[in-house]
Amino acid sequence: MGIKDLAWNKIKWKFMKRRLGYSDDEMKKFRENPRNEDILSKIPKLFDKTIVAEVIDSHGCNSEHHVGDKFYFDGAGNLLTEECPKRICIYALNAITPQIFAMIEMFFAGVDPNEMRFKHAACFDVGLECGGWGRIVMEIRVEASKKV
């Protein structure tokens, strides 16, 4: 167990109580769930991860997303807005929600999230060929954070 893990072990319950705004009774209930202890024990390693959704195909996108655009999320699935394009299509975000959830679950289960078989998603627009306007396809992966 590294220093970061030891420090986290010492403060995790107080940190989570403050972060979630729980009362003492709510925190007691939170701590009674053994899954919460398991998840919190893995948080330090999750902090070292970034989830990336990269546009790998784009045609006719009204939000002007292009191949190579990337949407960045921290290891917990929070959008890192300062690292993303200025405009982000809500339908693109909605499309990648299941993969991001699955990757985080895989991480907590001790499985490499990048081994997920279905790591592509597309916005719901069917594209010009099928009566829509445009469409983007994204590939989702987990990378080591670039934070120092």
Same domain for 69 and 9, yes or no, is no
Rounded Cα distance between 130 and 121, Å, is 18
Domains held by the chain: number:
2
The pLDDT tens digits of the residues spanning 96-135 come to 999 999 999 999 999 999 999 999 999 988 888 889 899 9
pLDDT band at 147 (very low <50, low <70, confident <90, very high): low
- pLDDT at 122 (0 to 100): 95
Based on the fold, state whether residues 58 and 111 are members of the same structural domain: yes
Q: Are residues 69 and 137 in the same domain?
A: yes
pLDDT at 136 over 90: yes
CA–CA separation, 56 and 66 (whole Å) = 8
Same domain, yes or no: 105 and 70: yes
What span, in angstroms and rounded, lies between the C-alpha atoms of 115 and 106?
9
| Same-domain pairing of 30 and 88 | no
Q: What pLDDT, on the 0 to 100 scale, is given for residue 148?
A: 44
Identify the sign of the CA torsion 65, 66, 67, 71: negative
Indicate if 63 and 132 belong to the same structural domain.
yes
Per residue in 40-98, pLDDT (tens digit) is 988 888 889 999 999 999 999 999 999 999 999 999 999 999 999 999 999 999 999 99
Long-range contacts of 2-6 (CB under 8 A, 24+ apart): 2/44, 4/44, 5/44
Structural domain range at position 78:
49-144
Same-domain pairing of 37 and 75: no
Q: Look at residue 120 in the predicted model and tell me its pLDDT.
A: 96
Query: Tens digits of per-residue pLDDT, 13-34?
Result: 999 999 999 999 999 999 999 9
CA atoms within 13 A on the CB side of 67: 4
68 and 123, same domain (yes or no): yes
